[in-house]
Amino acid sequence: MLAIRLPADIEKRLDRLAKRTGRTKTWYVREAVLNHLEDLEDVYYAEKELIAIREGRSKTIPIEEVMKRYGLEDRAIPDRRSGTGRAGSHSNAANPPVSVRARRQTRKSA
- 83 pLDDT exceeds 70? no
Average pLDDT, the chain: 81
Q: pLDDT at position 96, please?
A: 53
For the four alpha carbons of 52, 55, 59 and 64, in that order, the dihedral sign comes to positive
Query: Does the structure show a pLDDT above 80 at 93?
Result: no
User: Is the per-residue pLDDT at 25 higher than 80?
Assistant: yes
Dist CA 29 CA 23 (whole Å):
11
Residue 83: which domain range?
61-110
Same domain, yes or no, for 65 and 109? yes
Percent of the chain at pLDDT exceeding 90: 57
Residues 48 and 89 occupy one common structural domain: no
In this structure, the answer to whether residues 55 and 71 fall within a common structural domain is no
Q: What is the pLDDT of residue 102?
A: 55
The answer to whether residues 102 and 70 touch, using CB atoms and an 8 Å cutoff, is yes
Same structural domain, 71 and 54: no
Structural domain contains residue 3: no
